[in-house]
Structure 1
Amino acid sequence: MKTGALLVSISALALVACSVPKQESAALGSEVGASNQDLAPVRRILVQDQAEYKEAVKNAQPGDMIVLANGEWNDFDAVFKGVGTAEAPIWLSAETEGNVFLTGQSSLRLGGEHLIVSGLVFRNGYTPRNEVISFRVDSKLLANNSRVSHTVIDDFNNPDRSQRDIWVVMYGKNNEFDHNHLAGKLNSGPTMAIRLNTEESQENSHFVHHNYFGPRPVLGSNGGETFRIGTSHYSLTNSNSRVEHNYFDRCSGEVEIISNKSGGNTFRNNTFFESRGTLTLRHGNGNLIENNLFDGNGTPYTGGVRVINAQQTIKNNYFKDLTGKRFSGGLVVMNGVPNSPINRYHQVNGAMIEGNVFENIAAMELGEGSDNERSAVPINSSFKNNTIISDDGVSPITLHDDMSGIEFSGNKSNQAPPEAISSGFEVEPNLKQKIDASEYGVPREATGVSWYPKVGTGSPFDTGKDIAVSPDENAISNAIKTAEAGDRLVLAPGSYNEAKIIELDFPITIVAEQNGSVDLSFERKNMFVLSGKAGLKLSGVNVSGARAPDNVGNSFITTTSVAGGSNHTLIIQNSTFSDFVVNRSFAIVNASKGTLFQDIKIINSDFSDVSGSVVKLDAETDDFGMYNVESLEIENSHFSNIAGPAVIVYRGGRDESTFGPLVSFKGSTFTNVGTAGGPSALLHGAQVLTFEGNKIEQSQPFKFVITTGKPKPFLEGNSLNGDETASVLNIEDLRK
């Protein structure tokens, strides 16, 4: 053995814990697959660097534990292969759980038999491969009967969010993934997947349990699933995987939280908390969804289960406080495509939906997707002994087609269902269901690892300290150099000028000590460039673009993907913006390709004399379904003398996997907007639109281009050139 390796006999290891502490494993019991709790390594080999690691792997024997020394292992493309036995596996472990960090361009590949990995942390980097942790070394050497446990992958993202990778991929057979922590995936590709692309990985009987799937922010395109089993090409093959006792915390990458694309899988005792979208039985037959908790907690677009294909069973689940509709409803039973190709929608046949409780569910969509293509209604199915409680006075059930192929019987509801299915319900107006939520799902604290913090909640702003700033040249950029995430820069009254671009990569608030007492100007093409985890809250300032250079396409705030980017939040309130006319196409807010604003909120602010658009979010013109903003809200604000549309939002393509963009205009005025000949606002491909109490004067109406979905704009109390009966919205439909 190379110098620095430490050999320890089994007699000296009586008190050494393996991948899972023995007392914890014993408590979990055989039900959760704690199959290794009574095993101990024969020898422990401590390695200090990558060369020693490779030598240890080369010489590893059954019963060996290769231990990575505490510290940072940078650019570590680790290959862990060997042949252990059920009685004497080969371990790869951290010297101390949570103190071994794989950083930079690092990954881990397992290949062989009876391997166990535990205690590692992947952060501050991204994989150089397609996968961070792979249960195979290459297409020929797969892992079988192996386990990854007590390992963390946190914010380990490719800087280019369009670059696709998957954090964990299971191949082979009889593998286990448990008590791990995966949070913060931003770029394209599922967080975790099980592959069935070869016979050696089919009917695999993998076991995925007690993992913490932390927040997955909105991706802004297809490819943001948290978990996927199979692909459409192999979807008529069984995986026979078990997914149990996992906690899905705010997993909101796209409309499919879990995308099931294979057969014979079991989803049992999982909790979905404030996760937008659904557990979607997209392809594959004969799956079971049982004893799960779907708790939306009133969060927008949270859903339950979407049913497609044959012989699906959804029983004894608790669905509560879910607000999603259409593809994100509490329960969605889809129409299929007659003689469907393998990648479209197979008819629902033989579904059993039984013994579930639906409490305060916004929508239960039956026959969803019904159109000229999806005309195959559900058949040979049953909806029995379910309880539906709705506090808003109406039934959440909507029938989009003929549902005679579903037998309704023994159900209870406090609201009358649609007449066509009423014989299957007993209506009890005072129906109350006393439910012990602990009987469903799994507690958050029972998942993941105890030594790594789970992701908190709350605003990214106003969590730090106040920093007083006085008027001076570059005073704001100088103050930001000493600031930390969540701090507030409180500006004293006076004039501020910035001669440098402020590159911001953390959330910060900039607020005038007194509203309207701060005058702000800047001398570069942009004042703020947002990247990384940047967020900006701007309040109470007067901003002028008069000192900006004579360039086409300046903007006060822009984004960049050069250093990677989280989803940004921007709040502008109680502020004024004027004299942005030094050259053409000057914008207040602009987004670059490959970047996404999670939220933009503009409240009580005025914008005048702008040569471009105030908000310009149209960089994703490839029509792949990507876009630059998830939610845009404009309230009680004023726009005047704007050359372009005041707002441009663009989301091209016909993909149905996303919720946004979501656009709302309330109580705002648009005067002399679109003077270059355009509409007051151009909204291309938005999915949710609200126009309430707005006034358009000396300007053209808003323009809405429909590209996909079934958006229904809400309009109330608006006026066009003083006429409250005139439409403020022109619609162009490209779906035909």
Structure 2
Amino acid sequence: MQSKRSSHLILCLLALVLCFQNCAFAGKQPILVTTLAEYNQAVKTLQPGDTLMLANGVWQDAELVFKGEGTAEKHIVLIAETPGQVFLEGKSNLRIGGSHLIVKGLVFRNGWTPSSEVISFSIDSKTLAFNSRVTECVIDNYNNPDRNSQDSWVMMFGKNNRFDHNHIEGKRNTGVTMAVRLNSESSQDNHHRIDHNYFGPRPVLGSNGGETLRVGTSTYSLTDSNTLIENNYFEKCNGETEIISIKSGGNIIRGNVFLESKGSLTLRHGNGNTVERNIFLGNGKSETGGIRIINADHIIRDNYMQDLRGKEFRAGITVMNGVPNSTINRYHQVKNAQILNNSLINISKIELAVGSDTERSAVPEGNLFANNLVTSEGGVDAFQAYDKIDGIAFKDNVSNFKSTVVPSGFSQQEIKLEKAENGLYYPVDKTIKAGAPRDLKVLDITETGASWYPKTHREITFDTGKTLPVTPGLNTISDALKLAKAGDILQLAPGKYEQTKVLDIEVPVSIRSAQKSQISFVGTHLFEIYDGGSLSLDGIQVDGSKAADAAGNAIIKVNRAGTLHNYKLKVANSSFSDLTVNHSFNFLEASPGSFADTIQIDNSEFSKLTGSVLLLHKETDDLGKYNAEYVILEQNSFEEIGGMVADIYRGGTDESTFGPYFIAEKNQVRDAGKGSRNKEGASFSVTGAQWLVFEDNTLYSSAPVKVVDLVGTPYVHFSQNQLQDTSAIIHTKYQAKK
């Protein structure tokens, strides 16, 4: 009986405690809102300790303003009902202002911001965020469809804010992915923390404005930001040559991983930054780089770099030349940089006094390069210098090669490496003390981003879907194309095909024939590539004799709206003939605002074109934009081409881009470039390429090859070309196109 009474008493006491708890938090339960109107009303009433909860589902065209004054003990919170189940779509964004605010669990997708930012730590110039946090949010391919329309995804203002465990992936239009602004005193010396974020793939932009993370701007670059960038994962962040662009002072960049990311961590402006314990893994990918140094008093220590293939601005270590008495937005002299205890394993280059010219003539001064471990494949000298380097002292370094560029300060020896438990390589001989510390922690990708959001990438791929058989006849290809999904293959049976409808390419698709099936068409063009589309052609034969009698016809056109997604075009074992019904009949005509990741043509024949094979010259504003990253022509035949085999143009003097790359090898060219409308008077015209190989080609009775260098120190290689009844190659350096 006593036992029953005791149990009853305990239950009563528990009920009383629960009652007190509920009473104590009365009014502090999450405020659930289901519409934008409810949200706007509720946000006006928020007090310290309140939580505003967005209901699961799609919030269309939701411009959220989150304003409040919380305290260190009682934050004001904006949260998803279920993390990852609240989707902000259409023209949505989020602006934060006040203090001690937290935002968590939102996903931005299927749209783009109606303002200049997706998430801003400010409501207006006077209402900034302080001591606030955005965590476990996602911005995934939330792009303006115009690739030249500029916006940013995250902009940090104010002080003492944190951006952590967020998933940021797929920015394709112009504008830095994330930036810290210092444009007012209330945003300077900010002590922001940017940590444990996943910065997923950002494809090559093909122009300036593709940084993944920027801290500061040149205007305020001599001001300290004191931002901590720590334990973030940068995977395939290829937008432009600056992955992280530091344009302020006092920042710490620590413990981050850069995986197969083209470009470099660039100390572009500002002084006194520290770069330490970061991991750069290039995996042999082109243009993968390490750290580029400009300005004064930086510390670069304990970093690990492996299999990087970048040079110059994208070398493992790049030390720039400066401009004497430089203006704030140019290149300040590199002074007092401490480059210590870094491992550079199997790298291509370390570049010194880079950019030396009549303007950038201030060589590095008072710098130390010490206790670093450097290995190159085959023991090739990894150092390159473009000016005097007496202002860099080399001490106690170890390498597997003898350098003629840096003759002292290195112990050259055979270095055997072994993989440690952290996955990095260290000398077997533990008496070698140079290089990165053995206690480096390699951040695991699972430690970054929102744990509930998958890190999957939507890359353009061919031949990963189903094979759809197509029989000869009228519009049978377009009928099959309607059923095709990304990665599918249209397999043409032998025979003749006629198209009265344009073949709209809206997904990656392949069209193949084993016996060169014949295709004719009656319109102004056969294929049109739309945003999201890519095209692979193999074994087909196209006859243009039935095409419409119109100037400016083409086999392939890129839609006039341009392409947000980089497209691919691959052509193999195919032939294209009789493109003569009117003047300027081209094979491929790009459009302004379009960008090809790769255009590759192999073992194919082109004959009787009144226009050009490749027209990639539509970006004419001379801001460093261009229409294709890689253009590769190998073992093709070009005959009776009135225009040019390739017209590639990249204007301006901006140094932020990688390409274009143009490779032409083992091609036969006859009677090319002599049409009356060919104003260039060239069989090939390549302006502003950063990498050009023209090798083992034969040109008969053709206009000359014209190459113009505009920016940087491009790699240009001509070899074993035979020119018969064709003028010599005209190679002009650093002469802007009029």
Would you call these one fold, judging by a TM-score over 0.5? yes
Work out which of the residue numbers 275, 286, 290 in structure 2 matches 1:289: 275
Cα distance in 2 between the residues matched to 1:433 and 1:375? 42
**Displacement of 1:587 after TM fit?**
0.9
**Displacement of 1:59 after TM fit?**
1.3
Cα distance in 2 between the residues matched to 1:43 and 1:63? 9
Q: 1:542 to 1:11 in 2, by over 3 A?
A: farther
Paired residue for 1:452? 453
Counterpart code for 1:568: Y
Paired residue for 1:27? none
**Displacement of 1:440 after TM fit?**
4.5
Q: Is this contact kept in 1: 2:562–2:591, CA < 8 A?
A: no
**Displacement of 1:452 after TM fit?**
2.0
Q: Deviations over 1:391-425 (max 9, x none)?
A: 22312111221111111101000101225x32211
**Displacement of 1:499 after TM fit?**
1.5
Q: Is this contact kept in 2: 1:291–1:441, CA < 8 A?
A: no
Counterpart code for 1:622: D
Q: Is this contact kept in 1: 2:129–2:158, CA < 8 A?
A: yes
Matches within 5 A, 1:5-20: none
Cα distance in 2 between the residues matched to 1:62 and 1:294? 43
Partner secondary structure for residue 53 of structure 1: helix
Paired residue for 1:495? 496
Cα distance in 2 between the residues matched to 1:306 and 1:440? 23
Partner secondary structure for residue 52 of structure 1: helix
**2:692 matches 1:697:** no
Cα distance in 2 between the residues matched to 1:464 and 1:658? 33
Paired residue for 1:425? 410
Cα distance in 1 between the residues matched to 2:66 and 2:46? 10
**Displacement of 1:503 after TM fit?**
2.6
Partner secondary structure for residue 379 of structure 2: coil
**Displacement of 1:41 after TM fit?**
10
Paired residue for 2:602? 603
Paired residue for 1:641? 640
Paired residue for 1:376? 362
Q: 1:564 to 1:664 in 2, by over 3 A?
A: closer
Partner secondary structure for residue 683 of structure 1: strand
Q: Is this contact kept in 1: 2:562–2:593, CA < 8 A?
A: no
Work out which of the residue numbers 681, 685, 688 in structure 2 matches 1:682: 685
Q: 1:298 to 1:630 in 2, by over 3 A?
A: same
Q: 1:11 to 1:695 in 2, by over 3 A?
A: farther
Counterpart code for 1:574: N
Q: 1:14 to 1:611 in 2, by over 3 A?
A: farther
Q: Which runs of 5+ in 1 are unaligned?
A: 1-9, 16-38
Paired residue for 1:192? 178
Q: Is this contact kept in 1: 2:460–2:508, CA < 8 A?
A: no
**Displacement of 1:237 after TM fit?**
0.4
**Displacement of 1:687 after TM fit?**
1.1
Paired residue for 1:104? 90
Q: Is this contact kept in 2: 1:338–1:375, CA < 8 A?
A: yes
Paired residue for 2:11? none
Paired residue for 1:302? 288
- TM-score, normalized by length of structure 2? 0.92
**2:228 matches 1:242:** yes
**Displacement of 1:729 after TM fit?**
4.7
**Displacement of 1:295 after TM fit?**
0.8
Partner secondary structure for residue 598 of structure 2: strand
Cα distance in 2 between the residues matched to 1:13 and 1:200? 42
**2:215 matches 1:229:** yes
Q: 1:441 to 1:379 in 2, by over 3 A?
A: farther
Counterpart code for 2:90: G
Counterpart code for 1:491: L
Counterpart code for 1:718: N
Matches within 5 A, 1:178-577: 178-418=164-404, 421-432=406-417, 434-435=419-420, 436-437=422-423, 439-456=440-457, 460-512=461-513, 514-516=514-516, 518-560=517-559, 562=561, 565-577=564-576
Q: Deviations over 1:84-122 (max 9, x none)?
A: 112211111111111111111111101111111111111
Q: Which runs of 5+ in 2 are unaligned?
A: 1-16, 425-439
Cα distance in 1 between the residues matched to 2:26 and 2:611? 68
Q: Is this contact kept in 2: 1:412–1:427, CA < 8 A?
A: yes
Q: Deviations over 1:209-231 (max 9, x none)?
A: 11111111111111111110000
Paired residue for 2:718? 715
**Displacement of 1:722 after TM fit?**
7.9
Q: Is this contact kept in 1: 2:176–2:210, CA < 8 A?
A: yes
Q: Is this contact kept in 1: 2:355–2:712, CA < 8 A?
A: no
- TM-score, normalized by length of structure 1? 0.92
Q: Deviations over 1:645-664 (max 9, x none)?
A: 11100111111111111000
Q: Is this contact kept in 2: 1:618–1:627, CA < 8 A?
A: yes
Cα distance in 2 between the residues matched to 1:498 and 1:98? 46
Q: Is this contact kept in 1: 2:100–2:130, CA < 8 A?
A: yes
Q: Is this contact kept in 2: 1:523–1:547, CA < 8 A?
A: yes
Cα distance in 1 between the residues matched to 2:198 and 2:164? 9
**Displacement of 1:478 after TM fit?**
1.8
Pair member with larger Rg: 2
Cα distance in 1 between the residues matched to 2:458 and 2:342? 29
Runs of 4+ more than 6 Å apart: 10-15
**2:582 matches 1:583:** yes
Q: 1:394 to 1:13 in 2, by over 3 A?
A: farther
Partner secondary structure for residue 323 of structure 2: coil
Cα distance in 2 between the residues matched to 1:12 and 1:647? 79
Q: Is this contact kept in 2: 1:136–1:142, CA < 8 A?
A: yes
**Displacement of 1:527 after TM fit?**
2.1
Q: Which moved more, 1:521-530 or 1:432-441?
A: 432-441
Paired residue for 2:433? none
The number of residue pairs the alignment matches comes to: 699
Q: Deviations over 1:425-445 (max 9, x none)?
A: 111134536554463442222
Q: Is this contact kept in 1: 2:232–2:448, CA < 8 A?
A: yes
Counterpart code for 1:616: L
Paired residue for 1:660? 659
Counterpart code for 1:143: A
Partner secondary structure for residue 422 of structure 1: coil
Q: Is this contact kept in 2: 1:600–1:631, CA < 8 A?
A: yes
Q: Is this contact kept in 2: 1:606–1:637, CA < 8 A?
A: yes
Cα distance in 2 between the residues matched to 1:443 and 1:11? 42
Cα distance in 2 between the residues matched to 1:422 and 1:193? 41
Q: Is this contact kept in 2: 1:158–1:564, CA < 8 A?
A: no
Partner secondary structure for residue 322 of structure 1: coil
Work out which of the residue numbers 107, 114, 123 in structure 1 matches 2:109: 123
Partner secondary structure for residue 122 of structure 2: coil
**Displacement of 1:389 after TM fit?**
1.0
Q: Which moved more, 1:247-256 or 1:542-551?
A: 542-551
Cα distance in 2 between the residues matched to 1:457 and 1:483? 18
Cα distance in 2 between the residues matched to 1:47 and 1:615? 55
Counterpart code for 2:277: N
**Displacement of 1:515 after TM fit?**
3.6
Work out which of the residue numbers 155, 169, 186 in structure 1 matches 2:155: 169
Cα distance in 2 between the residues matched to 1:580 and 1:237? 60
Q: Is this contact kept in 2: 1:696–1:728, CA < 8 A?
A: no
Q: Which moved more, 1:265-274 or 1:42-51?
A: 42-51
Counterpart code for 1:580: L
Q: Which moved more, 1:531-540 or 1:611-620?
A: 531-540
Cα distance in 2 between the residues matched to 1:732 and 1:349? 31
Q: Is this contact kept in 2: 1:718–1:728, CA < 8 A?
A: no
**Displacement of 1:550 after TM fit?**
1.2
Q: Is this contact kept in 2: 1:408–1:423, CA < 8 A?
A: yes
Q: Is this contact kept in 2: 1:318–1:440, CA < 8 A?
A: no
Cα distance in 2 between the residues matched to 1:540 and 1:65? 62
Q: 1:366 to 1:12 in 2, by over 3 A?
A: farther
Cα distance in 2 between the residues matched to 1:564 and 1:667? 31
